[in-house]
Amino acid sequence: MAREQLKGKNIVITGASGGIGAEIAKLCGASGANLILLARSIEKLKQLQTELQQKHQVRVDIYQVDVSDTDKVREVFSEIIAKIDYIDILVNNAGFGVFREAHEATMDEIKGMFEVNVVGLMACTSMVLPKMRERRFGHIINIASQAGKIATPKSSVYSATKHAVLGYTNSLRMELSDYNVLVTSVNPGPIATNFFNIADEKGTYVKNVQKFMLQPEYVAGKVVDSMLTKTREINLPRWMNMGSVVYVLFPRLFEKIGKKAFNKK
């Protein structure tokens, strides 16, 4: 389904080589958007670029970048802006997680998750803010997680990064409200993607929650439908988001009852 409001818009997607990033790119391409795709895997980006150009005859530029490298982020975004002048929509999708108990997490893993999930997201956002504020137009979409609302065992570091993303996103929304720049957080539960190849090495978590897993195409559709609309948050699935409401109201009870249910990683 084409989204007419996206035709001709310049859309940057980080972490676009697979999962929901690639699915978002496909839907935006079908709507006639100009795509700028960023990821670490240039080969996967090249394949996606060819597919989208052949299928939809849209402009697709690709850049190899690890968002944890803030100097490279600055370099790439400067090149993008010099080429196309402005970015209409930024989707901060790049991220990863490792599920371990706090005492087992290495400092490299801790730093890595924060550098990609938080600092990298902020670095990308900071590069588009001046022009969006100047034009008084734009949309920043940050892919967070239900883990940013409900902390669970064995995801202390990952949950901390997503809490940070939500805090940043909520502040950013208020800062930009007078500039007509939209800010949306996306808080999905587990999605059936390669994310768990790293996060869940033993496959225990995937096995336990497989029947609840969201499909990347479904999540991507919800994200694309929200583009250039005043959607504050996207919470998927809805029943899981109800848990975060209960958590806020009755945290002690929730942690006591939910500990066993959530300790499936």
Residue 84 predicted with pLDDT over 90: yes
At residue 185, what are phi and psi to the nearest 5 degrees?
-105, 140
Model confidence band, residue 120 (pLDDT cutoffs 50, 70, 90): very high
Average pLDDT, the chain: 89
- Looking at residue 81, what is its pLDDT? 97
The CA–CA distances, whole Å, from 182 to 50, 96, 259 equal 31, 25, 36
Task: Order across the sheet with 10-13: list the strands.
Answer: 60-64, 34-39, 10-13, 89-92, 138-143, 181-188, 233-236
Asked if residues 123 and 74 have their Cβ atoms less than 8 Å apart, the reply is yes
Q: What is the mean pLDDT of residues 4-29?
A: 97
Helix/strand/coil for 63: strand
Q: What is the pTM (predicted TM-score) of this model?
A: 0.89
pLDDT at 212: 64
pLDDT value for 200 = 47
Q: What is the mean pLDDT of residues 79-84?
A: 97
Task: For 101-121, give one letter per residue: b (16+ CB within 10 A) or e.
Answer: eeeebeeebbeebbbbbbbbb
C-alpha of 118 from chain center: 11
Position 255 pLDDT exceeds 90: no
* pLDDT over 60 (residue 111): yes
The superfamily CATH assigns to domain 4-262 is: NAD(P)-binding Rossmann-like Domain (3.40.50.720)
Which one has a higher pLDDT value, 50 or 206? 50
How far is C-alpha 261 from the geometric centre of its chain's CA atoms? 26
Task: With CA atoms as reference, report the closest residue to 146 among 170, 128, 131, 166.
Answer: 166
Give the residue numbers marked as catalytic. Answer: 158
**pLDDT per position as a tens digit, 192-236:** 755 544 444 555 554 555 556 789 999 999 999 999 999 999 999
- Average pLDDT on 229-248 reads 81
Would you kindly state where each structural domain of the chain is located, as residue ranges?
Answer: 4-262
* 56-60, 101-105, 150-154: least confident range: 150-154
Residue 236: the pLDDT is: 93
* pLDDT over 90, % of the chain: 74
